[in-house]
Amino acid sequence: MASGQARKSSSSDTKKQRFKQVGGRSSLKNEECEICNSCVDIDQKGIECEICKHWFHASCVDIEDNEYEVLTNHKKGSIHWYCEKCNVKSVELFTLVFNIQEKMQNSEMELEKMKNDTNAKFQKIETEYDAVRQDLRILNKKIEEGVQKCLDDSDKLVKSTHQQTITLHKDVEIEMNKTKAEVSNKLKEIFEGQESGSWSEIVKREVTSSLNNVSEDIQAVQNTLTETKTQVNEQRDKESRRNNIVIYRIPESTEARSEDRNKEDVSFCMQLFNNALQAGMTEEDIVNVFRLGRRTENGDPRPLMVQLGRYTSKNIVMESLYKLRGADRKFKSVVIAHDMTLAEREDCKRLVTEAKDLAAADTSGEYLYRVRGLPGQMKVLKIRVRN
C-alpha cells in the first residue's frame, strides 16, 4: 500500500537500492516475502516496508511496474511506502496524534479563557475592595466629625447647665428674699396684735418650707449636672478607646529588655493581621502595643493592648475574625476583643452571667446562649445547636 508524504528523506528501499548498498551480494537478511513466504531474490522486484522493515514482492502487494520504477528512482524522500498492516496502524496513529493536538489546543484555549476570567474577577474584587475601603474612609471621617460635634455639644451643654445653675441660685435667692418680705408683711397684717412667739413660729415654718423646696430644686439641678458630666466622660473614654483592640493568649517573650519584648509582640501582631486575617496592615497603622497588668506567677500571658491609628483599620480586623478558623495553629487560640470602658465591661459581665443562668435553666440541650454585639449594644442571643 503506497502513500506519499512530504518528508526530507525516505527509509523505504527497493531491491535494487538494497543490492547497491550491500555491494552486490546475493543474500540479505529478512528477504522472505511476508505475503508468499518465498525468497525475494536480487533480480526480482522487491520493496521494504518503512515501519516493520519486512520485504515484499512488488506483485504480491499489487505494485505496478511504473509505480515500482518511481519508487526505485525516487531521490527526494517525499514518497513513503508501508505494508497494509502498517498503513492501517499509521493512519490510526496519525488520527490519534491529530486528536491529541486538537485537545491540547482546546485545553490551552480553555486555560487561557480561565486565566482571563480569573484575572477579570481578581480585578473586579480589587476594584470593589478599593471602593469599600474608600467608603469606610468616608464613613470613618463622618463618624469622627459626628463624635467631635457630640463632644463639642456636650461641653457647651455642661457650660450652659453650669451657667444656668449659677443664675438659678441667684434667682432663687432673690425670690426667697422677696417671698420672705411678702410673707412677713402678710403675716403682720393677719396676726397683728398676737403674741410674738406665735408670730416667730409661723415665720419660721414658712421660711423652712420655702428653703426645703429650693433645696430640692437645687439638688435636682445638681443631679442633672452630675449625670451630664458622667455621660460626657463616658463618651470621651469611648472615643479614646475606639481605635483600640485587646488580644488575649499571645505568648509573652522571655527577652530581658522591654524593647525586645515589645518588638516580638509587634512582629506577632503583624503576622496575625496579615498572614491569618489578611487585613493588609503595615507597622505605620499601629500606634502603640503594650501588655496590660503585671506579670503573673503562673506564667499566663497578659492581654495585649493594640492601639491603631485609624478606626477603619480596626473595622477591617474585626470583620476578618472569621478567618482565624483556617489560620495556622499558633493563631487559632488567639482571642481579639474591643477595648471597652468600665461601664461597658460591667454591662458585658452582667450579660455573661445572664447567659449562663439561661443556659443552666434550659435543660433541652437544643440551644446555646451567647453575648453578641458592639460595646454598649450587647445582648444575649439564643442560638440553636446544629446537629
Instruction: Kindly tell me if the per-residue pLDDT of 157 is higher than 90.
Output: no
Predicted model pTM: 0.47
Mean pLDDT of all residues in 74-86: 79
Instruction: Please return the burial class of 15, using the count of CB atoms within 10 Å of its CB with bins 0-12, 13-18 and 19+.
Output: buried
CB 239 within 8 A of CB 331: no
- Residues 324-373: pLDDT tens digits? 888 888 898 899 999 999 888 899 899 999 999 988 888 888 888 988 88
Least confident of 40-54, 156-170, 236-250, 311-325: 156-170
Mean of the per-residue pLDDT values of the chain: 81
pLDDT band at 148 (very low <50, low <70, confident <90, very high): confident
Per-residue model confidence as pLDDT tens digits over 211-253 = 677 777 778 878 888 888 888 888 888 888 999 999 998 999 8
Q: Is 340 helix (H, G, I), strand (E, B) or coil?
A: coil
Q: Read out DSSP for 15-55?
A: HHHHHHHTTS-S--TT-BBTTT-SB--TTS-EEE-TTT--E
Pairwise CA distance, residues 51 & 90, whole Å: 9
10 Å Cβ neighbour count for 344?
A: 20
| Unique residue bearing C-alpha cell 451643654 | 157
Rg of the chain on CA atoms, in Å: 50
pLDDT at 19 over 50: no
Q: Mean pLDDT over residues 118-125, rounded?
A: 86
Give the C-alpha separation, 174 to 179, whole Å: 9
In the predicted structure, residue 26 carries a pLDDT above the cut 70: no
Angle between helices 84-190 and 196-241 (to 10 degrees): 170
